[in-house]
Amino acid sequence: MPILEVSANGLVPIAVTTFEAEGWRERGDLQRLLKDHIVALEEGLMVLTEEFGGWSDSSRRIDLLCLDKLANLVVVELKRTADGGHMELQALRYAAMVSAMTFEQAVETFARHRNRASPDTDGARAEILDFLGWTTAREDSFGNDTRIILAAADFGKELTTTVLWLRERDIDIRCVRLRPHRLANGNLLLEIQQIIPLAETAEFVTSIQNKRIAERKERNERGQLLERFLQQLSERALQRTRIHEGRTPDADLGVLFGAIGKAGVSINYVIARDVSRVEVLFQRDDGRDLLLKLKEDQAEFERAFGGPLDWDEKENVRNCRVCQRVEGGYRSSEEEWPVIQDRLIEAMIRLDGAFRRRIASLQ
């Protein structure tokens, strides 16, 4: 959208110019001005240094290295060109290199930035602590994430596509467009606009990203807990019964499958978050018919099992089951796992005893 000047004669477009046409240099002009007014890029940033190259195996340098209020490091890369070049790849390399920076290294870097000839580390430390609102250094809370801000005259499609792809994978990388405008009186304006993510949706996008991170964490934890629970259950069950001998638990599904004498019918442990079950599962086109045939003798089966069962006979669904639910699952306290597993094993032995012979004889 153009920037318009309001005059007595109406709205007058302000001419867009380029940094090249104005003779601006990246370091001597753009970087110098933004370093002294970093709030123009983002509120709540502190510039630790410029032209940072604190690694021995590279001659490349970060334009601006900053710190945010959450003690995250922020890599700022600047380009005066209209396509951004390959600055996102460069910034990723820098972010990886600087991600291991400690609080004390940040203090030393900031002290040298303030006075290279005579660094005042005590003063630098006090200023950083005051910025973060800390009373003492907390190494475990420092630099847990490294963010990236790309600031350029404009961004090519390849770059923006890459940035959006990285954001989908929870890399906090942003694009800020810097556009110079020349007024009729000769004055120069600098338009600064965050375009990825849009400033209006940044809070919403951040909440979505946080939700996605939490979901990924939950999936990872679920997989680890399920795998451990099922492995313990399998080993514990083999001490009492051979129903699932030679069977490998499926941690993705949370199931330990077992055979019961007929194709398309299985006898399984199904482990969920808080309530698990043992079941006879019918996965065949005539599964519901077989289940209904067995249900004609429901009282007999439940007497043999030693208690009531759930007969899940969904219409027009290929999967039908007879099961008993057991309180407890992989999210229960691990101290309770042996008790829950013993209940499941006991129920499995009784379920197998009640159904195996009849299922094998079904026509």
Q: Is the pLDDT of residue 350 over 90?
A: yes
25-70 residue pLDDT tens: 888 888 999 999 999 999 999 999 998 886 655 567 899 999 999 9
Q: What's the pLDDT at 215?
A: 64
Q: How confident is the model at residue 200 (pLDDT cuts 50, 70, 90)?
A: very low
How would you classify residue 130: left for phi > 0, otherwise alpha for psi between -120 and 50, otherwise beta? alpha
Which are the contacts of 124, defined by CB distance < 8 A and separation ≥ 6? 107, 108, 110, 111, 114
The confidence score (pLDDT) of residue 218 equals: 65
Please give the full DSSP string across 250-299, using - where no structure is assigned.
BTTTTEE--B-SSTTEEEEEE--SSEEEEEEEEESTTHHHHHHHHHTTHH
pLDDT at 208 over 80: no
The two structure tokens encoding residue 179:
């556009």
Read off the DSSP letter of residue 79. Answer: E
What are the structural domains of the chain?
Answer: 4-101+143-196 (3.40.1350.10), 218-360 (3.30.1460)
Q: DSSP letter for 207, please.
A: H
Q: Which residues contact 140 (CB under 8 A, 6 or more apart)?
A: none
Q: Which residue has the higher pLDDT, 191 or 210?
A: 191
Lowest pLDDT segment from 15-29, 36-50, 161-175, 206-220: 206-220
Length reported for the chain:
363
pLDDT at 278 over 90: yes
Q: Tens digit of pLDDT for each residue in 75-107? A: 999 998 877 778 899 899 999 999 999 999 999
Listed in sequence order, the residues at least 6 apart from 197 whose beta carbon sits closer than 8 Å to its beta carbon are: 167, 174, 205
HSE-CB of 183 using CA atoms within 13 angstroms = 10
12 and 2 Cβ atoms separated by less than 8 Å: no
Distance CA 45, CA 38 (A): 7
Strands (E), 126-172: 146-152
Most confident of 18-22, 97-101, 116-120, 275-279: 275-279
- The whole-angstrom distance between residue 113's C-alpha and the CA centroid of its chain comes to 34
Under DSSP, the state recorded for 247 is P
* Separation between Cα atoms, residue 302 and residue 315, nearest integer Å: 22
* pLDDT tens per residue across span 298-347: 999 999 999 999 998 876 677 899 999 999 999 999 999 999 999 999 99
Give the confidence band of 18 by pLDDT, cuts at 50, 70, 90: confident
Per 3-state DSSP, the chain is made up of helix, strand and coil in percentages (nearest 5) of 40, 25, 35
In angstroms, the CA 114 to CA 3 distance is: 37
Residue (of 227, 231, 236) closest to 346 by Cα position: 236
Higher pLDDT pick, 59 / 255 = 255
DSSP β-bridge partners for residue 193:
177
Kindly report the average pLDDT of the chain as a whole number: 88
Residue 281 has pLDDT above 90, yes or no: yes
318-322-328-330 Cα dihedral, nearest 10 degrees: -40
